[in-house]
Amino acid sequence: MPELPEVETVRTGLAPSMEGHVIACATVNRPDLRWPFPERFAERLTGRRVERLRRRSKYILGDLDNGETLLVHLGMSGRMTVSGDPLGLFVHEHPKTAKHDHVIFDMDNGARITFNDPRRFGAMDLLPTDQIDLHPLLAKLGPEPLGNTFDESYLLEKLQGRNTPIKSALLDQRIIAGLGNIYVCEALFRANISPRRKAGNVSKAKVAALVPIIRKVLQDAIEAGGSSLRDFRQADGELGYFQHSFDVYGREDAPCHTTDCDGVIRRITQAGRSSFYCPQCQR
Q: Which residues participate in catalysis according to the annotation?
A: 2-3, 58, 273
Rounded to a whole number of angstroms, the minimum distance from the CB of residue 265 to Zn ion is 8
Pairwise CA distance, residues 260 & 47, whole Å: 60
Pairwise CA distance, residues 283 & 277, whole Å: 10
Of these, 109, 263, 273, 274, which contacts Zn ion (CB under 5 A)?
A: 263
Task: From 171-179, 184-192, 205-213, 254-262, give the range in contact with Zn ion by CB under 5 A.
Answer: 254-262
Q: Does 192 bind Zn ion (CB under 5 A)?
A: no
Q: Which residue number, 77 or 280, has a Cβ lying nearer to Zn ion?
A: 280
Tally of CB atoms within 10 A around 170: 27
- With beta carbons less than 8 A apart as the criterion, state whether 27 and 107 touch: no
Task: From 60-68, 70-78, 172-180, 256-264, give the range in contact with Zn ion by CB under 5 A.
Answer: 256-264
Tally of CB atoms within 10 A around 276: 23
Which residue is nearest to Zn ion, using beta carbons?
Answer: 256
Q: Which residue number, 34 or 196, has a Cβ lying nearer to Zn ion?
A: 196
Q: Does 256 bind Zn ion (CB under 5 A)?
A: yes
Q: Does 281 bind Zn ion (CB under 5 A)?
A: yes
Rounded to a whole number of angstroms, the minimum distance from the CB of residue 254 to Zn ion is 11
Alpha-helical regions (H) of the chain: 4-18, 41-45, 152-159, 166-171, 181-190, 204-229
For the chain, percent helix, then strand, then coil, each to nearest 5? 30, 25, 45
Site for Zn ion, rule CB under 5 A: 256, 258, 261, 263, 278, 280-281
